[in-house]
Each structure stands twice: as C-alpha cells, then as structure tokens.
Amino acid sequence: MTEEESVGQLIRRAREARGLRLEELARELKLPLRHLEAIEGDHWDALPPGRPRPLARQLAARLDVDLEYHTGAFQIVPGVQELEPPDPRQERLERVVMGVLTAVSVLVLLWLVVPGPSLGRKPPPSYLAVLTRPTLPPPPAPSASPYPVLGELLPEAPLNDQGTLVSLRVMDTCEVNIEPQTDAGGPRLVRTLRVSEPWRLRVKGPFTLRLDNAGVVNVEVAGRRIVHGQSVGEPWTGQFDEEGHWLRPALPELPEGAPVPDDDEDGTKP
C-alpha cells in the first residue's frame, strides 16, 4: 500500500486478495458490472449523479476497507458529504411532539365548532363597566310652541291647552296640508311625508286637513282614527272643530233602522 493509492485501487486490491471476481461481486451486491469497473478505475463520471460516494462505501464495507482510515483518498471521490444517520431516539421524540400538537389542534377546533355550555352565558357585571358606562343626557324639556319641534316628545293627551293632537303615518309619499281656521291656530303647515315617516303635532282651534294621497295615510285626530275611505292616489279633505271632531258633510237621510256612525269610532261629530 502506498500513499498514492486511490479508493478504486484500494477496493481492487482488497477484492483480488479475497479471490473475488467482479462478476461475482456484482451479482452478490446486485449492482451493474459497469459500475464496479468504473469504481475500480476511479472513473467517477461514469456513475449516476450522487452515487459515487454511496457505492464506494458499499463496496468498501463488503471488502472490509476502512475508508475512515483512508480519509485523503476518499475526499477525492466527488459528491456531497453524507449526513450522519438519524438518531432513533430523536425521531421518536419528534413523533411524540407532532402527535401532541395534532391532538391539541383537534381539541381547539372542536372547542370552536361545537358550542359548549359556557357559550351564550353572560359574564357577571363588572364594577369597572358600571363606572365607565357613559351617562345619557336628560331628554329636552317640552316646547311651549303649539307646533312640532324635531326630537320633542309631545304629550299623549288628545286635547290640552296647546290644542288637538294630530298623528299621521304614511306607507308611501304624501303631501299634507294643515290650515287652521282661526288666527290663534297659527300659519298653514305644509309637509311632504315619506315612507313610514310619522308626524305628530298640536293644532289649536278648528282646522282643515288635506291629503293628496289619502289611501296611504293613517290619520288620528284627538286620539281617534279617522276612516276617510279614500284609496291610494285619491285626495281627501277633512274639517275638524276645536275638539278634534270630524265635521263631515251632511249625509242623506238613512232608511229606518240603518246604523248611525258612532262618534267614538271615527271622531265624527253628529
């Protein structure tokens, strides 16, 4: 053995010392014969990429050639440095950690998807929330004006010293015209109401109420619903006295025994 011996020369000399032929060694290791010839001839380019070092180690192990002792010769063999074989204990620990993480992930997913007994339960009140809760300002004082003020809560009494309570609610657009019959009642009021827009106000003295789309308006005067009988798109005009009674035109004489409208139902004054 000399210092100039290569890996291929070491393997060939070890094979010949054992009296093995390349054909026998190829059949035993189940390797192509040309690969063994390339290794013994140090023709590393003839081997598949990435295979020179593994094949050289396999042959050296079979022929009891210590490549660790011949480090200088083995460094000439092309290829990357092989990694150390994995530690079974390290692999077992990694599998245990991955199993624990998987179980925790499944439990968290079930907790988020399946409602538990605590979901929907209100937490007990905290004194900090009470201390930091904003206080609402008191409602504004009612106005002394007989006309509506935005944001004002009008009293519910049908009649008071401010006049008759008129309540209008529409299901579609309608123009409303309220014209007091006396100077004490104030100026004429005109307003276009939109869908579901209420209008509550006080009118002093007798007045006239005109609607250009009466079929979509719910009218209440002095707490009584006014059934005017008009359809959608039809106008209607009604006159009311100072107590909110509907002053309908005189009806023709009814046959004997016919029902007479009640003042409590539609606010009509007989």
Q: How far is CA 90 from CA 87, 96, 102, 193, 264, in A?
A: 5, 10, 18, 80, 93
**Alpha helices, DSSP H, located in 6-162:** 7-17, 22-29, 33-40, 52-62, 71-74, 88-113, 127-132
The confidence score (pLDDT) of residue 81 equals 53
**Secondary structure (3-state) at 254:** coil
Determine how many CB atoms are found less than 10 A away from the CB of residue 14.
16
User: How far is the C-alpha of 53 from the C-alpha of 61, rounded, in Å?
Assistant: 12
The confidence score (pLDDT) of residue 261 equals 55
At residue 267, does pLDDT exceed 70? no
Q: Position of tokens 């059934």?
A: 227
Distance of CA 45 to the CA centre of its chain: 62
Domains, the chain: 7-74 (1.10.260.40), 159-250 (no CATH)
Provide mean pLDDT across the span 250-258. 61
Provide mean pLDDT across the span 123-151. 58
Provide mean pLDDT across the span 22-43. 85
Express each pLDDT in 153-194 by its tens digit.
Answer: 545 788 888 888 888 888 888 898 888 888 776 788 888 888
The confidence score (pLDDT) of residue 155 equals 52
Mean pLDDT of the chain: 77
User: How far is the C-alpha of 78 from the C-alpha of 186, rounded, in Å?
Assistant: 109
Asked if residue 178 lies in contact with residue 188, where contact means CB atoms within 8 angstroms, the answer is yes
Q: How far is CA 263 from CA 85, 140, 267, 268, in A?
A: 104, 36, 5, 5
Express each pLDDT in 48-101 by its tens digit.
Answer: 887 888 888 888 888 888 777 777 677 767 765 554 556 778 888 999 999 999
pLDDT-based confidence at 104, cuts 50/70/90? Answer: very high
Q: Among candidates 266, 224, 243, which has minimal Cα distance to 159?
A: 243
pLDDT-based confidence at 1, cuts 50/70/90? Answer: very low
User: How far is the C-alpha of 60 from the C-alpha of 11, rounded, in Å?
Assistant: 6
What's the predicted TM-score (pTM) here?
A: 0.40
- DSSP-derived letter for residue 77 is S
At residue 145, does pLDDT exceed 70? no
Q: Please give the full DSSP string across 133-175, using - where no structure is assigned.
A: SPPPPPPPPPPSSSS--TT------SEETTEEEEEEEESS-EE
Express each pLDDT in 187-233 by its tens digit.
Answer: 888 888 888 778 888 888 898 989 898 888 888 988 889 888 888 88
Provide mean pLDDT across the span 251-262. 59
Q: Identify any residues that bridge with 211 across adjacent strands, giving them in sequence order.
A: 176, 236
Q: How many CA atoms lie within 13 A of 227 on its CB side?
A: 6
pLDDT above 70 coverage of the chain, percent: 72
